[in-house]
């Protein structure tokens, strides 16, 4: 019987991932253990997951506890979706950098928001992995929590557990490209690799024909078709390759699209397409609405529909491939170790991985185009400094990571970066690592 732990079970991931797992053919029974420090949200998640299990008609048992040590023993798979500090820090992450001229759309993976989310999230993440190593030493660990690269890099270095970071940007972007090009998805031929949210479609073909000229021609002739994706398309026009992250989020990763108001007005749109403070303004409302919807579904006030279709998230595919030894290809965040030759070998990359009974096996690809690799290396330097900061309790390394962030450094002086960091540290002190000097 398979035993799975879901940590941070109050998150939006839980019902989708649970349904996916329960729909795996041949895996009609097992235990899903839900863990969350928020007892009220945990109860909602448990009742909803039990409703999903009943609708599917499987033999899955749902357990729940605010103490992960009651759920972890003997687990075969551990899925991490924790959010440290909830909504308490999201305004600080956004508003303090904005005072210094750093405009963020999402701000949870890179830049000031991503760096401070790492400072809040990695210490409890490492404590979780210590417990996994002790209570479920044979488990595969699947991480969904951002900042993905920093979380994965620190987790692998500290724990040594088989661990992969999972996102949906590769599969989502590849499907989006097929729609842009009006090609059946199963006929699209592509290769993709780099780092999380900055992986590159280095091959984009249909029956051996390079599709990039057609993509750029469509952008020039029908710009209205790409209104929600201007940043990525402009980047593709200038650098030659399409990137995996949405235009709004990707605009935070580079120095060219958000550093001045006139530039933001030209390239950035509302919402996920680049709206300033979008995540800080909307996420607390999304969280509240998700809880309200769960209450209504549980009470029967809101219709509950079960379509019986698995999502494009990789968690259930990994579990199926590993448990049944059915080799499957996914895109995961792993240590490089030779997979991409012109990126740091001890850093975290996103690359195609084979999953079978032996676990997570990264594939190898050719060197990335140098312009793309250069951007990846700039971010990997930030990841490395954050790993040093969090694994060695070194605050100065985190300050220097902020100074090296491409967007922040395009806007702020070094002295301003330090002042911004210290202001954020004081505002979020209750969540900062207590031993960091």
CATH number at residue 127: 3.40.50.720
* Annotation marks residue 168 as catalytic: yes
pLDDT of residue 342: 98
Give yes or no for residue 307 having a pLDDT over 90. no
CB 411 within 8 A of CB 97: no
Q: For residue 9, what are the domain limits?
A: 2-166+303-314
Helices (H), 75-211: 90-99, 111-135, 148-159, 169-181
Q: Is residue 159 part of a domain?
A: yes
Q: What is the pLDDT of residues 350-381, one digit of tens each?
A: 999 999 999 999 999 999 999 999 999 999 99
Give yes or no for residue 32 having a pLDDT over 90. yes
Angle between helices 39-56 and 13-22 (to 10 degrees): 30
**Whole-angstrom Cα distance, residue 86 to residue 101?**
25
Cis omega before residue 351 (within 30°)? no
pLDDT of residue 37: 97
Give yes or no for residue 437 having a pLDDT over 90. no
Give yes or no for residue 333 having a pLDDT over 90. yes
* Distances in whole angstroms, Cα of residue 234 to Cα of each of 19, 92, 117, 250, 274: 38, 31, 29, 12, 14
* E strand map for 248-346: 328-335
In eight-state DSSP terms, residue 104 is -
Write down the catalytic residue from 168, 222, 312, 323.
168
- Name the burial class of residue 106, with classes exposed (0-12), middle (13-18) and buried (19+) by CB atoms within 10 angstroms of its CB: buried
Residue 291's H or E segment, with its range, is helix 278-299
Which one is predicted more confidently, 10 or 304? 10
pLDDT of residue 69: 98
**Whole-angstrom Cα distance, residue 162 to residue 416?**
40
**Whole-angstrom Cα distance, residue 294 to residue 280?**
22
Q: What is the pLDDT of residues 192-218, one digit of tens each?
A: 999 999 999 999 999 999 999 999 999
Q: Is residue 358 part of a domain?
A: no
Q: Is residue 32 part of a domain?
A: yes
Torsion, Cα 184 187 192 196, to 10 degrees, reads 30
pLDDT of residue 308: 86
**Whole-angstrom Cα distance, residue 316 to residue 257?**
36
How many domains, the chain? 1
424: pLDDT confidence band, cut at 50, 70 and 90?
very high
pLDDT of residue 43: 97
Residue 198, both tokens: 């900055």
pLDDT of residue 305: 83
pTM: predicted TM-score of the whole model, two decimal places:
0.97
CB 361 within 8 A of CB 354: yes
pLDDT of residue 304: 87
Using alpha carbons, select from 102, 99, 417 the residue that is nearest to residue 252.
102
Residue 193, both tokens: 């690799």
pLDDT of residue 75: 98
Give yes or no for residue 325 having a pLDDT over 90. yes
When pLDDT is averaged across residues 266-286 and rounded to a whole number, the result is 96
Q: How far is CA 368 from the centre of its chain?
A: 22
CB 170 within 8 A of CB 331: yes
CB 239 within 8 A of CB 372: yes
435: pLDDT confidence band, cut at 50, 70 and 90?
confident
Q: What is the pLDDT of residues 80-126, one digit of tens each?
A: 999 999 899 999 999 999 999 999 999 999 999 999 999 999 999 99
Mean pLDDT for the chain?
A: 97
Give yes or no for residue 289 having a pLDDT over 90. yes
pLDDT of residue 116: 98
Q: Is residue 258 part of a domain?
A: no
pLDDT of residue 306: 82
Q: Is residue 55 part of a domain?
A: yes
Give yes or no for residue 283 having a pLDDT over 90. yes
pLDDT of residue 159: 96
Q: Which residue has the tokens 């839900």?
A: 34
Q: Is residue 38 part of a domain?
A: yes
pLDDT of residue 293: 95
Helices (H), 300-436: 315-324, 370-392, 395-404, 406-411, 414-427
End-to-end CA distance of the chain: 46
pLDDT of residue 28: 87
Is 64 in a helix, a strand, or coil? strand
Give yes or no for residue 405 having a pLDDT over 90. yes
Q: Is residue 437 part of a domain?
A: no
Give yes or no for residue 176 having a pLDDT over 90. yes
Q: Is residue 148 part of a domain?
A: yes
**Whole-angstrom Cα distance, residue 331 to residue 168?**
9
Residue 137, both tokens: 């030493």
When pLDDT is averaged across residues 8-16 and rounded to a whole number, the result is 95
CB 8 within 8 A of CB 38: no
pLDDT of residue 410: 98
When pLDDT is averaged across residues 412-433 and rounded to a whole number, the result is 97
What residues contact residue 413 under an 8 Å CB cut-off, 6+ apart? none
Tell me how crowded residue 305 is: count the other CB atoms within 10 A of its CB.
Answer: 7
């Amino acid at each position: 019987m398979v035993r799975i732990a879901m940590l941070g079970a109050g998150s939006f991931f839980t019902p989708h991932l649970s349904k996916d797992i329960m729909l795996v053919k041949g895996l009609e029974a097992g235990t899903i253990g839900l863990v969350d420090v928020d007892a009220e949200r945990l109860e909602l998640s448990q009742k909803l997951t039990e409703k999903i299990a009943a609708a599917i008609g499987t033999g899955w048992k749902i357990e729940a506890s605010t103490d992960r040590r009651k759920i972890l023993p003997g687990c075969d798979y551990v899925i991490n979706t924790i959010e440290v500090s909830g909504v308490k820090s999201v305004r600080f992450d956004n508003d303090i950098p904005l005072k210094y001229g750093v405009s963020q759309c999402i701000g949870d993976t890179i830049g000031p928001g991503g760096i401070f989310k790492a400072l809040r999230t990695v210490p409890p993440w490492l404590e979780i992995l210590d417990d996994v190593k002790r209570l479920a030493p044979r488990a595969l660990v699947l991480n969904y929590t951002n900042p993905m690269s920093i979380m994965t890099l620190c987790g692998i270095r500290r724990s040594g557990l088989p661990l992969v970071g999972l996102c949906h940007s590769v599969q989502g972007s590849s499907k989006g490209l097929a729609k842009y090009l009006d090609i059946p998805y199963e006929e699209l031929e592509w290769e993709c690799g780099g780092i999380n949210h900055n992986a590159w479609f280095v091959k984009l073909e249909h029956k051996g024909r390079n599709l990039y000229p057609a993509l750029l021609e469509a952008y020039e002739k029908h710009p209205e078709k790409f209104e929600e994706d201007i940043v990525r398309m402009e980047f593709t026009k200038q650098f030659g390759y399409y990137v995996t992250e949405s235009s709004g989020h990707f605009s935070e990763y580079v120095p060219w699209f958000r550093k001045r108001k006139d530039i933001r007005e030209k390239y950035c749109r509302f919402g996920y397409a680049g709206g300033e403070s979008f995540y800080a303004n909307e996420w607390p409302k999304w969280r509240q609405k998700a809880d309200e919807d769960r209450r209504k579904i549980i009470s029967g006030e809101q219709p509950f529909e079960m379509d019986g279709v698995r999502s494009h998230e990789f968690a259930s595919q990994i579990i199926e491939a590993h448990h049944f030894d059915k080799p499957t290809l996914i895109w995961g965040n792993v240590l490089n170790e030779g997979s991409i030759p012109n990126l740091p070998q001890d850093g975290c990359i996103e690359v195609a991985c084979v999953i079978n009974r032996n676990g997570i096996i990264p594939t190898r690809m050719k060197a990335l185009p140098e312009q793309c690799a250069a951007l990846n290396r700039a971010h990997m330097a930030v990841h490395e400094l954050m790993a040093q900061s969090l694994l060695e309790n070194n605050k100065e390394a985190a300050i220097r990571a902020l100074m090296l962030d491409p967007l922040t450094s395009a806007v702020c002086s070094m002295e301003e970066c330090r002042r911004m960091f210290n202001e954020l540290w004081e505002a979020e002190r209750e969540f900062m690592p207590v031993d960091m000097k």
